[in-house]
Structure 1
Amino acid sequence: MPAFGFAHLRGRRHHSDVLEYLERIQATLDPFGGRFVIHGPPAEVLEGDWPGSMVLIEFPGRAEARAWYDSPAYRAILRLRTDHVEGDVLLIDGVGPDYDPTERARTLRAEAERAGEPAA
């Protein structure tokens, strides 16, 4: 099952360190099968508020995503971004091709019932 590195970046600056980070990041992703899915420009916001931009990087699985983030190669460039761009970064598992949101709802209802909570 794929896993994703997701970043919500704000206050982006075109500092030379950030540009160097962009020039070097792909080489840190390649050994872990990472690839950019989204890199970028502001999204069209349909509901709510979304300041900043987003980045989504796909990996074959959570182990590869974590290994990339902890790798010496990535750690060597990380400060080039974090010193100049504010943001939140997450690792999250994706869902498989057979994912069924109806089944997820059933599971959540059952958990709520076991906890004695109404599933409103």
Structure 2
Amino acid sequence: MLSEEVFEYMERIQATLDPHGGKFLVHGAQVEVREGEWPGALVVIEFPSLAAAREWYDSPAYREILRLRADHIPGDLILVDGCGPDHDSAALAAALRAAA
């Protein structure tokens, strides 16, 4: 059962994301584990840039609600720079092979 603090976090988080261009891509969906182990739920939030994600995480608005999540939902939070729509894994492999 979710705590009142988690409900409050869920109700307030979007207002902290909006000024930084953040939007949910995955939120509360069931995961289907095909390899390895996955301990639970997954949330993916997209930002226009890694800098925007950092600004959101460090913002006073998010800091105000952070404990509502961190104290009541076990898990990890990571920021990662994604690849763009023109990403080419074969070109990346060639560059890595050349550098090795």
Q: TM over 0.5, yes or no?
A: yes
Q: CA RMSD in A?
A: 1.1
Which residue of structure 1 aligns with residue 15 of structure 2? 27
Give 1:70 deviation, angstroms. Answer: 0.2
Match status 1:18 vs 2:3: no
With normalisation by structure 2, the TM-score equals 0.94
Q: In structure 1, the residue corresponding to 2:42 is in which secondary structure? A: strand
Which residue of structure 2 aligns with residue 6 of structure 1? none
Which residue of structure 1 aligns with residue 38 of structure 2? 50
Q: Which moved more, 1:18-27 or 1:93-102?
A: 93-102
Q: Which moved more, 1:23-32 or 1:40-49?
A: 40-49
Match status 1:107 vs 2:95: yes
Which residue of structure 1 aligns with residue 24 of structure 2? 36
Which residue of structure 2 aligns with residue 65 of structure 1? 53
* Structure 1: gaps (5+ residues): 1-12, 113-120
Q: Counterpart amino acid of 1:60?
A: P
Which ranges of 4 or more aligned residues in structure 1 deviate by more than 4 Å?
A: none
How many residues were matched structurally? 100
Which structure: greater strand fraction? 1
Q: In structure 1, the residue corresponding to 2:26 is in which secondary structure? A: strand
- Higher Rg of the two aligned structures: 1
Q: Distance in 1 between matches of 2:5 and 2:29?
A: 19
Give 1:47 deviation, angstroms. Answer: 1.5
Which structure: greater helix fraction? 2
Higher relative contact order (CA 8 A, sep 6+): 1
Q: How does 1:71-86 map to 2 (within 5 A)?
A: 71-86=59-74
Q: Distance in 1 between matches of 2:35 and 2:50?
A: 29
* Structure 2: gaps (5+ residues): none
Deviations 1:4-25 (A, max 9, x none): xxxxxxxxx5011011000000
